[in-house]
Amino acid sequence: MSDLPGTEAEATGPATTEPVSLLLRHLHARPEGLTSVSAARRLRRYGRNELHRHRRARWVGELASQLVHPLALLLWAAALLSFLSRTPTLAWAIIGVILLNAFVAFVQERQAERAVEALRRYLPPRATVLRDGRRQAVDAAEVVPGDVLAIEEGDRICADARLVEGALEVDLSTLTGEAQPALREAGAEGRGRPLLELPDLLFSGTSCTGGEALAIVFATGMHTELGRIAALSQRVRREESPLERQVRRVAWLIAGVSVGAALAFIPIGLLGAGLSWRSALEFSVGLLVANVPEGLLPTITLALAVGVRLLGRRGALVKRLSAVETLGSTTVICTDKTGTLTENRMQAARIWTGGREFDVSGDGPLPSASAALAPFARAIARCSNAELVEGGPPRGDPTEVGLLRLAARLGEPVDRAVRERGRRRLFHFDPAIKLMSTADAIDGTLWLHTKGAPEAILRRTTQIAGEDGLRPLEGEERAAIERKVVDWASRGLRVLAVADRPLTGAELPDRAQAESALVFLGLVALLDPPRPEVPEAVARCRGAGIRVIMVTGDHGLTAGAIARAIGLVDGPPHVVTGEEVERLGEPELRRLLREARDLVFARSSPEVKLRIADALRADREVVAMTGDGVNDAPALKRAQVGVAMGRSGTDVAREAATLVLTDDDFATIAVAVEEGRRVYDNVRKFIVYIFAHTTPEVVPFLLFALSGGHLPLPLTVLLILAIDLGTETLPALALGREPAEPGLMRRPPRPVGESVIRGSMLLRAWLLLGSTSAALVLFAFFFVLLRAGWRGGVAVAPETYRQATTITFLAIVACQVGTAFAARTERAPLFAIGLATNPVLLAGIAFELAFAAALVYVPFLADLFGASPPPGEALLLLAPFPFVVWGVDELFRFGVRSRAARLLALPPT
């Protein structure tokens, strides 16, 4: 008989209501899961467990949007004026530019989007399934109908499924919008309820916030409830980043100024210069085209996409293009300790039990030196969800893995199957009370095993286990335990307490009742050494004016010791516990964050993280917040940059975050901040480069108008189009790949709300670089005219005029080369970054020169653009132009650096 069920459409109807036994028969599945061979056959039949998006309507809309942005509208106006002036060739040329520019921008945005989607594959969602009689982690896209999912707290559910064992708390907000988790339990009766309220159903796209369970998959991909919704609504719009919004506003400003100038100079041309209507309109077209920086928006999109791709290679997965620029303005990083600042390699170092302390460092077996060690080892083995895999890496929380290894060395069985057979109840770790407990049947007796923060265990403990049996846990002995916790924590060790108690009665008590009157079994100290690269990364962040605040659930002394070890604090750390934060009002918390230095938040709950993020944002800080657990999701969403752990983090945390660290390393955050700053700087560099060429393109038209037409027009509209589209674009794109400028991470963060285009940038582009270029360009133009014998007011021979406008075009290209090198740095000298450190720019300049030469010397192109080869001495005249433009800017930057040095050297007043 085939092991393939019918179609998923057929299975979905009865699958939600029929008994589980019938569902298993219908799916040709078993409670112990599929075989790998069967799963492979089903994958071929049903396809991958993915949602498919129809993009036809979307790409049409995206392409159309490129035709109506303000810079395109400006060119449409120029084309209309060209038709009115009866120059249809020019009009069609401008329309061709509009269409080509729109297509280039559209392609670049699509490539940028695909780059983000491709990078997401660095961290494919994983699912744990029962295959071949054992648990296996597989790509969620390979889950098929009939698979048995093993779901734990923090997992994202990847398919529609029925619970067959266990109970879960599930966040259904993806489908229902309700933030309150819903209880889902195997065997629960729910006939007559709406589909989403059935108590034993799980849905793709939702998240498990608590519990453990097994569930049989009955629908995948587009056949899930989420797939049905996706099929009904395929409207997914790309979010415009703040940077793009700023540039769009500037584009409207440019459009307004350009149109105003063009309209104003029409009467000047008609009345002052005595031009005809046709000539006046041609003049206005040239003025409009000269003011349009066509490549601005696509260049910004590409720069952001390149930044995302580079970050992905360095271990930081950015989920939105807009997050790159936000990273560059980060002012505060709130970071967890375990796994981010430390190696997350927990190894037991010390045990205190029965009044005795044992050194358990190392890897060898340990003798049973105390009668109290047996119940201690049993408790840490049972109260765990981790798994030691023979011949493979362990699975589960690193702390629990470290405790399981300790239990195995103490001679306690740690097999997961044995543990699960005896487990009757799981009270998962609650960050609010800092405890985890399990109820386990052992030799006919039900035992509660508990581990957690020492202070939380001690509050619930009435007895202590010793070599002579149980005795009351009273004052001096309780104080001795507390002193031991302080001693270990001050050495940077993570300290946990372990307890148990027998449970009586037929029914299991609720959590609060179960976790009371505990028997204290002992303490265990685990060592998690700081990552070796973290001190340097912390120093770089602090040098960049970024505050780094540790927010951890660990003991304050442990957190303080690690903070000192990595250079997070200069003096004694100011440790604030979660309980202290909860007692503070919002004004007091904001004052604490504003005024206190060397802050470390210990014993912090996710609610405390959320309050810290809110308080910092209220003070206009740009916050990056790390997290890895389910309950960290609100804080990750609230921070401007939520940073989730790729290895140890839960699916819920990764979904809530904007940045995922594939290596869980704090140093990668510093890299991401630097990359964000670099990208933002590069955006400003190519804005300076693009705007600098507006002046030499506009000044010839103004000179022509102000002379009343007595001076020939030095540049034609077609040659302007050749400059803006042919010679300017590739160097501008290459500036987006500039390496970081020296001192980038020694500057303070960018002020919140600062525009990407500053007044100083426009002055540098238009007045310094632009005016220098305009002077050189006009000098070359008049050199050719005067050499040919032209005198003011005399008509120019057609061939001489073509040579003169061609030399103007070539002079602008030569000045572009100098501007490209000048724009590579904002303050630093060019030799500080090196002449050849951006090979893409060198290639872009080579293409620019080749294109300019082809336009002049290839007959077809020369006829199309109205170009003619200028005299040889005029071409030699152009050779120093790039050095003059670069040299003038280099002197200007030297003056800026000197002035800044003098200001820093001034004594305080």
> Average of pLDDT values for 712-720?
83
> Residue 348: is its pLDDT beyond 50?
yes
Catalytic residue among 147, 155, 336, 724: 336
> Residue 56: is its pLDDT beyond 70?
no
Please give the Cα distance from 752 to 763 (Å, whole number). 22
Please give the Cα distance from 457 to 320 (Å, whole number). 43
> Residue 814: is its pLDDT beyond 90?
yes
CA dihedral angle for residue 159, residue 161, residue 164, residue 170, rounded to 10 degrees? 80
> Residue 341: is its pLDDT beyond 70?
yes
> Which among 749, 742, 876, 890 has a CA at the least distance from the CA of 823?
890
H/E stretch holding 264: helix 242-267
Whether 71 contacts 255, CB under 8 Å: yes
Least confident span in 58-62, 181-185, 507-511: 58-62
The total number of residues written for the chain in this structure: 909
Whether 493 contacts 554, CB under 8 Å: no
More reliable by pLDDT, 857 or 693: 857
Residue 538 pLDDT grade (very low, low, confident, very high; cuts 50, 70, 90): very high
Provide the pLDDT for residue 791: 80
Least confident span in 511-520, 638-647, 648-657, 759-768: 648-657
Provide the pLDDT for residue 909: 43
Provide the pLDDT for residue 43: 92
pLDDT in tens, 454-479: 999 999 999 998 877 889 998 889 99
> Residue 208: is its pLDDT beyond 90?
no
SS3 (DSSP) at 233: coil
More reliable by pLDDT, 745 or 15: 745
Residue 235 pLDDT grade (very low, low, confident, very high; cuts 50, 70, 90): very low
Q: Does 440 participate in catalysis according to the annotation?
A: no
> Which among 131, 126, 110 has a CA at the least distance from the CA of 61?
110
pLDDT > 70 fraction of the chain, expressed in percent and rounded: 81
pLDDT in tens, 105-125: 666 556 545 544 544 444 457
> Average of pLDDT values for 265-283?
68
> Residue 810: is its pLDDT beyond 90?
yes
Q: Where are the alpha helices (DSSP H) in 410-555?
A: 416-422, 454-459, 475-490, 511-514, 534-543
> Average of pLDDT values for 316-343?
82
Please give the Cα distance from 478 to 458 (Å, whole number). 8
> Residue 204: is its pLDDT beyond 50?
yes
> Average of pLDDT values for 174-200?
72
Residue 239 pLDDT grade (very low, low, confident, very high; cuts 50, 70, 90): very low
H/E stretch holding 128: strand 126-131
pTM attached to this predicted model? 0.71
Q: Where are the alpha helices (DSSP H) in 657-723?
A: 666-692, 694-706, 717-721
> Residue 246: is its pLDDT beyond 80?
no
> Which among 158, 176, 165, 169 has a CA at the least distance from the CA of 208?
169
Provide the pLDDT for residue 60: 65
Residue 129 pLDDT grade (very low, low, confident, very high; cuts 50, 70, 90): very high
